Amino acid sequence: MAGIDTTGTDETRRIETLARLAASRAEIRRVLEPPPRVSPGDGPDSGVSGSGSFPRSRTMKLLLSGRGAGTVGAVACGLMIARPALALRLLRMLPAGAIGRMLLVKAISALRSNRE
């Protein structure tokens, strides 16, 4: 076995594997990250940067989107089924007035969009 050089082939395989991993990570990142939204007034000459819009964090953007509301609802239902005492304790900590207003505004806007 003294005449066989496996370090070159091992290194080549390692480099190929790392390249494939980098390509798959880039593809996953491209699929999972939402495309940047550009509003009509946010052109390159408007002076408004895309990072100045609200909400800035991806977590808040997810929670305020339609998919996020479904996700939060599913998690809340799962928590209510699995641990009802903990779910009720967490529910008491939420500001009921603010959440009620938010749900009322969403319901009214949904009704208005259905009429149009």
Per-residue pLDDT at 101 exceeds 80: yes
What average pLDDT score do residues 90-96 get?
A: 84
What average pLDDT score do residues 43-71 get?
A: 67
Q: Does the pTM exceed 0.75?
A: no
Residues 71, 31: Cα–Cα separation, whole Å: 19
DSSP symbols for 16-77: HHHHHHHHHHHHHHHHHSPPPP--TT--TTS---GGGSSP-SHHHHHHHSHHHHHHHHHHHH
Location of structure tokens 């895309």:
50
pLDDT at 43: 47
Location of structure tokens 């806007």:
109
Q: What is the dihedral of CA 95, 101, 107, 109, to 10 degrees?
A: -130
pLDDT interval class at 3 (50, 70, 90): low
